[in-house]
Amino acid sequence: MSPDRQLLITLGALRRQWRQRILLESLVWIGASVLLAVLATMLVLTVFSGDGRAPIIARVIGYALIAAAFIRGLVLPLTRRASDERFALYVEERAPQLKQALITAVQEAHVPESERQSGALSARLMSRASAAIAPLQQRAALERPRMVRAGQMLGGVAAVAALMFVAGPARLREGAKLLFVPFGTAEAAVPVRALNIEPGNVAVPRGGAIEVHAALIGFAADGAELVFRSDSASEWQRLPMSPEADSSRFRSRLFDITKPTEYYVESADVRSPTYKLTVNDLPAVSNVSLDLNFPAYSGMPAEHVEDGGDVAAIVGTTVVVHANVTRKVASGVLRFDDGTTAPMTIEGDSAVAGRFKVAKSGFYHVDLITTDGTTVAGSVEYVIDAIPDRGPRVTIEEPGRDTKASNTDEVTVAVQASDDLGVVALELRYRVNGGAEKRIVMQDSTTRRPRDARAAHTLFLEEMSLVPGDLVAYHAVAKDGSGHTGSSDVYFLEVRPFSKDYRQAEQQGGGGGGGGGPQGESPEGFVARQKEVVAGTFNWLRDSSSTVDKKRRENITTLTIAEGRLREEVTKLATSLKERGLAAGDTMFAKIRVETEAAAASMKLAEEQLGRGRGTDALPLEQKALQHLQRAEALYRDVQVQMGGGGGGGGGGGGGGQKAEDLADLFELENDKLRNQYEAVQQQSQSQQSAQQAVDETLEKLRQLAQRQQQENERMQRQAEAMRQRLGQQQSGGASGSSGGAASSSGRGQQGGQQGGQQGQQGQPANSGAQRELARQAEEEARRLERLSREQNNPELANAAQRLQQAADAMRRASSGSAAQGSAALEELNRAARNLEGTRSNELNRGVQQLAERARDLEARQQEIAEGVKSMAGAAPNTRNEQQRKLGEQKDALGNDVRKLEADADRLAREARRDQPKAAGKLGEAAETIRDTRVADKIDFSKQVIRGGSAEYASQFEGQIGENLKDVAERLRAATGAMSGESAARTQERTLERTRALVEGLESLRDRVADKQGQQGGQQGAQGQQSGQQGQQGQPGKQGQQSGQQGQQGQQGQQGQGQGQQQGQGQQGQGQGQQQGQGQGQGQGQQGGQQANGGRGGNSNGAPRAGGTPNGGMPSGQSSPNGNDGGMMPAGTPEQFAREFRLRRENAEGLRREAAAQGVDTRELDRAIEGLRQLENSRAFGDPKGLEQLQTAMLERLKNFEFALYRSVGLGADGRPAAGARAAAPAEYRALVEEYYRVLAGSKRRP
């Protein structure tokens, strides 16, 4: 065989191996495409369920995917014919050891023998090439690795396919059958649409109940109906079924089954087979009622639920289950889903009762034990929904931020707290310079437990003996009846001097342009970072109970590192001051060194405590360090006025300039901070964008939840209406055992009553599954908002999270059939959505305002740079070089900030496009101006102009940049004006919310005043009874009663009552010592206000002032707040109440200005403001009766204004006016209220 023939044969063998590899890889492509086609078919069948075209669409998509993979992976590679030279190049690329010998040999083999230069040389070349590629062909070395990899991939595809078809959903197998059995039966071409019913045919004890579950197969639907009849002669009855957590499943219950019953389920146009329920004579549960005994701390009265079974109650509630049975039994058992049981005892001849305590969510059913010992398992599972008792949420409304005040100012702190079961106590806690924590009791009542409590307290700084630089850290703590506490964020009050301290600096001699006095930078970065450490430690302590251990350890480690790094930088500053001798020559620097050294020492101790995980011990030390840093900052901020600085001409500055350079070198931290400013702002902006995106997603989810809750409420109304009509028909036929409306009927013994009972009891669990699913989703969004509020330190998000959590709790209670709770859930959802919308609008508004401020700052910085460029004209060469360097650094920072401004303007324009299109247009114009005028590029180029151009040209160029930045600032200012044109509806909603908050705050204040007056009257009445009416019955008076109620009579049979609270009724009394049925006795006691203060002095108004006791309310026997001992300081002096009335009056005046701008009639509000002015005078507290009348009249006028404002806004049912603080219905009326809501939901308005 000739050498060229042998070479081509060997090359052909390699080509066959290549084709085998292509075939194997194409099988992988085809296998993957088949899986993808099956998945696409399943998706099409799901999306287009019920559509007759779905099989055709699915087949077209599936076959197209398979065909595309077949052509791409097999046909195209194999049909693409490669020449021998091209294939030889392919072999050379994968076998570099051939060194192009194969390509040369193949080319020579295709040359005719007559044209070859040397036949022997050509033959030898081809022989060597054949010998070189022979091993490659024998071991398949070229294609084996890729063939092995393709085989592994093919095996993986086969394994995934097997797993999907075995363990995957049935719809997946239906899709495969549709694709690969196209010519089979009709059932193969059309997806199965059926209903899977449980329990099917089953025997039921006579009078028992059963739960029916329906699963949709092959289609989706919004609802399903259970259709049943008790015997063949009766009419079919329809009941809507409740959706479960899985949207393809529904459930319903049939109660009181006394006769053989047929039933089936319909959904969309699909109907299940008909099943039969046979009846046996075993005992069964015909009806379940509940007694809910809430924990004593909740203050909630016991509640009785008829025709129930499902439990939705707070943790710790004792539930007594009363189960009526159809036949006599020996006993019963409550069996829970976790395997535990609770015994049930006999109640009469036809009932058993058992009890359990709600500890966690789950299920239970009632098992009965017959007289012969047989256990009859319960066929109905009842839901236990444990609602956790969450701690109170506390916010500081006023001042709501870190503030500065002089040591003679009066700072009023307004606090708002809310709890699902009511706030029992509210305290204001503060530390002065990291000392002992002081507590001021703002509210402490065991009888009144408002869900929303508001209080205010005025701190008299003059009485604390503070000096400039001192620090007061304060926060508020609320407690509920169970002892759970909640805390606000910590805020700082810095004591500032009365005025800036101006002093003449040293007169320095020496040269001209570079001279000057000492200049330095303020260590504000130290103070800000230490505040972050203090706030972080406080939050770590506050949130420890709700944080997992791993996260807690990570957080405190972060705090330890941050404190350590800051301590090192502060120590470096103190050391530099000492080493350079600055502290020796200037008393100000000596004081600075002392303060920084003291701060570093406290930081060292705090760092050690944090390292040991002792946040409580570290917090006072951190506050001490913060105090020293603030004092150092105050010293740096002393304004220095250069009176006789440098002279003219010549070269450079004197001593003052050198001192300024030394100071600048000390603050490397600040220089580093400036260098990294752009990157830090970028990270912050990205964080804000992600947070805003999360808020938008949550807002959209809230709207969906509100829509679904509205649908559930309407579903309950339709069920109630259907039940009302059927019960009316049955009553006309003589069904005396059934009750009308939406209330469930007992109806046992008659067919009409039986069906009515089924309808009534069915109405209770009909929507429970859907309500619980909605509650679960609402709680997820509430947790998400709560996390965002912590990260962003945004109280508005926290408020929305609280509203959403309250909505979730109401949904859980609505799952037991309460229409009122369903409406309450919808209201809370809408309020949470409005809060989020307001948060989004406020964040957008703040963002635009910040952009405008940044643009003005950029304009001002450019003006300073332009002035610097002009001053370079007559400067000496050395000074000129230094000025050029500093101007270059300033321009670098300015250019970066301009680019960031452009990016932020574009981002805000996108976010505002939907809600504020006008402002979005202005923002877009500003960003476009920056791009069109190329401001950032001009700033970069201007550095070269300064170095190489003429002074006149440089000044003109700087003027152009200034004009461009001015244009940008004007456009952003216009965008701010456009944002201020907020929608009138949103403005009115905000005004109404402010009015509600004002009403709630004043009612809370009224209650606390009444508590205080009642306590004083009770003490004085007790004294009068002891001296004048011993042995007679006490009578509570009128003074402490709330809401204008007067003359409540005390309970008889209690000797010497004389207390501020009327026992049994919760009303407050004066304790005058009257005997029932007789005239007034002797020794009433002194009126409140004359002796209420004990040994304290009074102020000029004749009202008690905490003379000698700081902050109004500390008894004379207690220590000063500046002392080192802790202690509780009660609030509630007339002066404190007067200050709080002044705060509320200021809030009302702000509300009036806002309402007047909207054209709202403010006459009632004006009258209420005038009443508040009268209450500001602490003398009013000397007349308890007059004080009560003033408060009642003022609140009545304010509520009238609120109602008028509500009518003008016209928000709808979810925005109804508060009309004062809302409270739950009294126990004796609660059943009637529920009945009222059911009838109201089911009634129809007829002409």
Q: What are 1053-1093's pLDDT values in tens digits?
A: 333 333 333 333 333 333 333 333 333 333 333 333 333 33
More confident residue, 1194 or 1013: 1194
pLDDT at 981: 52
pLDDT of 510 > 70? The answer is no
pLDDT at 637: 63
Contact 531/492 with Cβ under 8 angstroms? yes
pLDDT at 51: 58
**Which among 367, 415, 371, 420 has a CA at the least distance from the CA of 394?**
415
Average pLDDT over residues 965-980: 79
pLDDT of 327 > 80? The answer is yes
pLDDT > 90 in the chain, percent: 3
pLDDT > 70 in the chain, percent: 64
pLDDT at 646: 40
Contact 660/518 with Cβ under 8 angstroms? yes
pLDDT at 668: 39
> 714: which residues sit within 8 A by CB, 6+ positions away?
none
Highest mean pLDDT among 364-368, 419-423, 990-994: 364-368
Question: Radius of gyration over alpha carbons of the chain, in Å?
Answer: 42
**Which among 444, 459, 447, 391 has a CA at the least distance from the CA of 419?**
391
CA angle 1014, 1098, 1021 (to 5 degrees): 25
More confident residue, 1233 or 442: 442
More confident residue, 1013 or 1055: 1013
> 1138: which residues sit within 8 A by CB, 6+ positions away?
1103, 1175, 1176, 1177, 1178, 1180, 1181
pLDDT at 756: 44
pLDDT at 322: 92
- Would the pTM of this model clear 0.75, i.e. be above it? no
pLDDT at 1063: 35
Q: What are 157-181's pLDDT values in tens digits?
A: 888 888 877 777 776 777 777 777 6
pLDDT of 265 > 90? The answer is yes
- The amino acid at residue 871 is S
Neighbours of 1 (CB within 10 A): 7
- Distance, in Å, from the CA atom of 189 to the CA atom of 57, rounded to the nearest integer, reads 12
β-pairing verdict for 1127-1130 and 438-444:
parallel
More confident residue, 489 or 813: 489
pLDDT of 319 > 90? The answer is yes
pLDDT at 773: 67
Residue 580 pLDDT class (50, 70, 90 cuts): low
pLDDT of 866 > 50? The answer is yes
Residue 915 pLDDT class (50, 70, 90 cuts): low
pLDDT at 831: 67
pLDDT at 1234: 53
Instruction: Please state which of the ranges 226-235, 352-361, 652-661, 700-709 shows the lowest mean pLDDT.
Output: 652-661
Residue 342 pLDDT class (50, 70, 90 cuts): very high
β-pairing verdict for 202-205 and 275-280:
parallel
pLDDT at 680: 41
Burial of residue 670 (CB within 10 Å: 0-12, 13-18, 19+) is: middle
Which pair of structure tokens corresponds to residue 428?
A: 């204001």
**Which among 320, 268, 274, 328 has a CA at the least distance from the CA of 294?**
320
Residue 356 pLDDT class (50, 70, 90 cuts): very high
Average pLDDT over residues 443-470: 80
Instruction: Please state which of the ranges 714-718, 788-792, 1231-1235 shows the lowest mean pLDDT.
Output: 1231-1235
More confident residue, 678 or 307: 307
Average pLDDT over residues 383-393: 85
Average pLDDT over residues 92-115: 75
Residue 320 pLDDT class (50, 70, 90 cuts): very high
Instruction: Please state which of the ranges 223-237, 929-943, 995-1009, 1227-1241 shows the lowest mean pLDDT.
Output: 1227-1241
pLDDT at 223: 84
Burial of residue 234 (CB within 10 Å: 0-12, 13-18, 19+) is: middle
- Distance, in Å, from the CA atom of 490 to the CA atom of 460, rounded to the nearest integer, reads 19
pLDDT at 418: 85
Instruction: Write the DSSP assignment of 341-356 as a string of letters.
Output: EEEEEE-SSSEEEEEE
Q: What is the mean pLDDT of the chain?
A: 71
pLDDT of 321 > 90? The answer is yes
- Distance, in Å, from the CA atom of 779 to the CA atom of 798, rounded to the nearest integer, reads 13
pLDDT at 718: 58
pLDDT of 330 > 70? The answer is yes
- DSSP one-letter code for 1033: B
pLDDT of 638 > 50? The answer is yes
For 346, list phi and psi in degrees, rounded to 5.
-75, 135
- Distance, in Å, from the CA atom of 984 to the CA atom of 135, rounded to the nearest integer, reads 86
Instruction: Please state which of the ranges 112-126, 684-698, 856-870 shows the lowest mean pLDDT.
Output: 684-698
CA 927 vs. chain centroid, Å, equals 33
- Distance, in Å, from the CA atom of 1125 to the CA atom of 437, rounded to the nearest integer, reads 8
Highest mean pLDDT among 571-580, 674-683, 1009-1018, 1218-1227: 571-580
